[in-house]
Structure formats: C-alpha cells, structure tokens
Structure 1
Amino acid sequence: MSSALPRPFLHLAHANLAAQSAEQLGLAAVPLVAVMAYGAGAAETGLLAAVQTLPFLLLAMPLGLLADRMPRRRLMLRAEVLRALSLLLMLAVLAAPWSARMGIAGMALLGFIGAIGTVAFSVAAPALVPELVPREALARANGRIELARSAAFAAGPAVAGALVAWTGAGAAFVLAAALSFAAVALLWKLPEPARRVPAARHPWTELREGARFVLRHAWLRPMLLTGAIFNIAWFVLQAGYVPHAVRALGLGAQGVGLTLAMYGAGMVAGALLTPRIAARTSPGSAIRVGPFSAVLAAVLMASTLRWPSAGLAALSLFVFGAGPMVWTISSTTLRQGVTPAGMLGRVSAVFLTVNAGARPVGAALGAGAGALWGEAGCLLLALAGFMLQAAVIALAKLDAAPSDEALRSPT
C-alpha cells in the first residue's frame, strides 16, 4: 500500500498550515501592537487575550452543529475569509488617522471576529479528515495536521516579534492576511466527498445528542475528563512559571523566552513521533503516553523548587510539548474512529468547549494558589492536577486495540 496521503488531504494539510500560521502571527502581533501603539498594560493585554478566547467557549457548539449540517469545506472557507477580513481590518485600523479612538476596544472586537473563524476551522477540519483518508492513515493524517499547528505555534511569536520590531506592526498583519487568503485558495481547490445530511431538527436536540454521545461513551468520557483536568493544571502551571523562572531560576526575559520555546520544539517532536508510536502500540497505550508524560514533566518542573535549574525547566517544557501532542493526535484519531460521520462536528465541539472552559478555571486557581502560597504553590498544585488526569486515563478501559466493529460501539 502506498504511504502517500491522498491529494485532497494534502490540500487540507497545506490550507491548515497557512491558516495556523496566520492565526499565530495575529495572536502574537495583537498584544505587541497594543503595548507599542496604545501603551497597553497587563490589564489591557489580558483583556485582549480573554476576548480572543471567548468564541471557543461560546460558539464552538453552534459551529460544531453547522459542521454537521452543511458541507465542511464551505464552513471552513467562510471561516477563513472571516479571519482574513478581520486581519485586513486590523491593518486598516492601524493605518487610519482615527485609529487612536478605537484603540484597545477595536482590536478586541476584531480579535473576537477573527477567533470565530479559528473556532469554525477547528471543529470542521477534524470532522473532514476521515472523509479524505482511509482509516489506517488517520494517525498519520492527524499527525500532519498537528505538525503544522506545532510549527506555527513555535515560529509565529518569533516571526511576529521580528516583523513588528524591524518593519512596524503593519507587516505582521499583512503577512498574516496573505497566509489566510492562501488558505482560502487551497480550500477552494479541495474536493469534499458528498455525504448525506439528515433533516435538520431543533438545534438544542442535536446539540444534546452530541454531548450525550460523548458522556455515554466508555472511551470518550474519560478522554474528555482527562483533557479538562490537563487544561486546568496547565494553566495553573502557567500562572506560576514566569515569576518562578525570574525569581528562583534567575532568568531574564531572553532566558524565559528560550525555555518557553522548548515547549514548541517539544510539540514538533511529538507530532513527528506519534505516527511511529501509533504503529507500534495499541490505541490505548498511545493515548496514555500524553497524560503520563505530563506527570513526568510536572515532576521535573517541581524539582526546580529543590534544585533551581533552567535546564530542568527547559526539559520539563519540552516534555510538556511532546507528550501531550501524542495525546492530541492519538485521541483525535480514536475520536474520529468511534464517532458517526454525521456527528463529528458536534463531538469535536464538545471537546473544544470543555477544554476552553477549563482554561479560565485553571488560570483562576493559579492566581489563587499564587496569592496564598506563591509560585511554589502553583507548581505543586499543577503537579497534583497532572497526577489526577493520569489516574483518570489509567483507569479507563483503553487497554485493547479496538476492532473496526468495536469502534462503532457507543458503550
């Protein structure tokens, strides 16, 4: 059997790379511009970040329903056009003489609009992949998708920072908009196989159907809970890491940036390794790699409380990037295998919504732990959270590699 992925999927993969790069460039450029052009402080940049995450929490489920009701390629096209237009409007606002009057509020509004496009793309793409590749190639295809996300995540902030520093804010948005329109062009050439769309029912009925499927499924339910706990623990860790790195590890801004870059490097390594891991282990074993790796990474980070070391912190962040990336690809592949094709958009949206909702919970817990016990409290509370998510997935019934027939069993 040829190892090459089908050409239609390659159009999707290239469009995904362009779209992810546009997203990361925009996300990195917005706070830089807010600080440099409008004098924003921590409160304003925090507001911008919060507004850009709201569509994930508020709109993932409705957009997941749309992904099941309409051609997914069409939804992705419209989503990417929306993101491209928001980037062009951001550029126009910066160039306009009246831009100071819009300021942070205008950037927040446009960031919200652009994020709607990101959410729609995020729920539609995983639902479309199984229509373009055979079942045995799903792990490789998902690895290709996540590799693009990892590369964009690792390179986007650095490229945006360099463009803003060397040529001004406009260049970052021009490049991001160009990449977004490139994604539109690639999606335009993507042939989507025809599928039967059932008659529309009441939206609430269909949304409940998707949530019920996840919550009653013996494999998806613990995966959902594991992901939620991981995201809470990760944001607790993030609340304490930078002050810990500066005060306890003695790192400056450049040193902190270099250690954080190891997270992106780990994501790339994990995306490259996952197809090999999936080929040599059962789905259950591959899925457990991520949660167990997160415990190892959290132990490494907590050990810097006893032995302050930038090297240990960097290694911890590398493992945090690599292991959970194996989880993301493996769990997505299993989710695609067990979910009926007509429900993939809603099921993906359930996971996206729960993970998005877990992040502010983690940030709030991290803030509370930091206020009560300092950075050490954040690191130790995060370790407890990562141990809990590993326990949840360890107890799940994922030991045997499921057959094709078993993959369709909801209990």
Structure 2
Amino acid sequence: MIRWLSAGLFVCAIAVAAFGYGVLAHKDDLFPVPLMREVQRDLRALVVNDLALDTVRHAAPVETLLPDRLAPGLLAISGADTDFHPVVRVVDRKGAVVQRWRPDWFALFDDIAFVPEARRPKAAPNAYPHGLAVLPDGGIVLNFEHLATAAYDACGGLRWALPNLGHHSVHVTETGEIWVAAEVYHDADPVPYANHRAPLRAWTAQRISADGQVLETIDIIALLERLGLRGLLHLSTQMQRETEVTGDTLHLNDVETFPEGLASGIFTPGDLMLSLRNINTVLVLDRETGAVLFQSTGQVLRHHDPDFVAGDRISVFDNNNTLPAREPVPASRVVEIDARTGALTEVLSGAPGAAAGGEPFFTDIMGSHQRLANGNILVASGAEGRLLEFLADGRLAWRYSNRISEDRNGWIYDALLLPPDMDAGFFEEARAACGG
C-alpha cells in the first residue's frame, strides 16, 4: 500500500513539474517549444504545398460564360503542376498553353546555408513560386516563397538569383527596377529590436536592379519604430503585463510603388505601399520625406495585394479569413479604401448569393486580384486553385481551374492578365531571342 501511495505521489509530482515546466517553456520559449513550432510549421507546409488540393467544383477546367465581356489578353498563372512541381504557364482563354516555365529552386545555389536548416525544402513542391512578374522582354521574375528571388529568360534559362528569403510580392516599376518582399530570419537571441525575441522574421522591402543587384533594403520593424508606429509591432502579444513578441509578427506580403500616369491629389510616382497581413494594415509612404501618406488598420482581415487605382483609392484583396468559424460561410472579397477619407466600399463579394450570376470564392491564405481596363475584376482564389473574371456588377464571365487530376485542383500561387501585345507571337519571338 505504501509502495502504491509513494508511486502515486511520485507520478503527481512529475505531472506538476511537467506542467510547471510547460508553462515556463511556453513563456520563455524553452525546449521543446521551438522544436514543436518548427514541426507544426513543417506539417503546415506539407499540407499547403504537397497536398495543396481543392475538390473540383465544375465539370470543365475552363468555362466561358460571357465571351463578349472578357478583357483581351493572355494570362500568366503560377501554380502546382500535375506532378506537384511548380509551374508558370501563359495560357489563352481556352486554357491552351502558350508559354511555360518549370522553375527549380534546387538549381539556384550551390550553398543554401542562408536558409535556416529547419526551413530548407526537401522536394520541389516545398519550394514554390509566390510573387510573379512578366518582364517586357518575355522573361519572368519570381520569388520562391521565403527562399529567394530569381529571374528567368523566356527559354527558362536562369538570369540571376538572390539569397534574400524573398516571398509573396514582385513589383516591376516603369524604370525596370524591381521591388520585392524579403526577410532576415533571426533564429537565436539577441535580436536587434527592443522587446522582440527569436525566432523572429524581420521583414524587409528590397529594391533590385533589372540585372539582380540589391539597391536598397528597408527594415520594416525599424521603419515602424521611426514612424512612431510602435504599437503595430506588438499587436500579437497576449500577455497581460508584457508586450514582448516573437515569430511572424507583421507578415509583409506586398510592396509596390505609385505608378506614373495615374492622377492623384495625395500620392506621387514612386510613393511606396506596404501590406502587412498579420496586423491587417496597409501603409503608403512618401519616398522623399518618409511621411505616412495613408494608413488603414483593421478594415480588412488577413488581406493581400493592395493596388493603387484611380480616384485616390486603394483596391485590396481581403481574404476575410474568419476560420475556424463556419457560419456564416467564409468568403473573401475585393474592397476599395478611399485614401482621402478612409471610407471602405465592397466592390466584389465572394459570399454565396452575393450577386445574381456571381460565384462564391474564399481563400484563407494567398489570393490576389487585378482591376482590368474594361472594368472587370480578375480574382485568383489561391487555395481553391481557381482563377475567376467578374464583371463590375459581380456576374461571373470566365473561370479557370488549375486541374491536376479528375477530381482535384492544385493551388494557384499568382495570376495576372497580360497586355494584349504579349500574345503568342510575342513569346515565340522572345524564345527565338534567347535560343529556345
């Protein structure tokens, strides 16, 4: 009896000690919390990349509902191929492939020590392109998500690659310079920011020359400190009396500049827009003075892809991620924010039944949109593997599913409508120029 009682007390003592250590480990990020976090990240990456599938909703992979209302031009689409390898395709409205790249992260660098060991991809599906631009000569620039930025010619030849942990966003200016979102990963303390601790993703905005030289790197955490926006840095804390933060605190997912030729009473060409998903914030900065010209915080939920549009408005793909709640049905949307007043207008809803002739859409992560010259809106619903073109009144005009099997779609990472002069003949000439 005494032996059983002693054993019971011993087990209880171990349980109490384990519980106490668990609380302390979670608070101070002690072993095995960092390991568990990396395992969780890898499992999530496995689901997102290797098993990035959505059940097929439509009989045909391509369907044209309103052929006379489509915007002209081919479409560039990056996504999972039938073998799960990343692929970038240029397709026509019937889905026929005009141009193709199969970018390979593993062929970029002899030494990948710049990628944290626990985050190094093991196979092609785990090194996928997120962030894409088609260049005037028919080449492309893309980011391998959280790994690198790379440029390819129209024949698929590598032009250059940067070990910058690039991700999400690629924006090419009128002068040919390239802005991307990138990262500095701190896997051990101390980190160079007050009230932050490792592991920490310190996001940067990088300006890159057409030949792949880094011209400027903007530290986003330091930038927010300088702007007097320290409160935005600590929104992820949950402690009652402490505000120290760690991990992916901001999640920069878009960087772009105000374009030439777009009239504005607020912005001038070159002003810089930053999209910070994890704090639901969009900022526009004066490149000359560094002043904040526009700020929206809390009007969208886990958004992507803010774009400047006419009338001093900013168009945003609002993922509107309300998961895990299932009621009402989660639905993404496209909104406009008036930069003068801050007023938000919903211009396209992915909610079921939102518009007669419409189409529901929802993607919890990724996703993008493009406001087209004829007034239509192109939506890439990434996690659904679908590309949708809507009229301004919400009616669906065309849809494309990234079909990788009879009953599955592969994810779409990026999509954009190309200018009409980038037709099949254009890409044929581009391949001839590089010997393809």
- TM-score of the pair, normalised by structure 2: 0.25
- TM-score of the pair, normalised by structure 1: 0.26
Greater strand content: 2
Bigger radius of gyration: 2
Greater helix content: 1
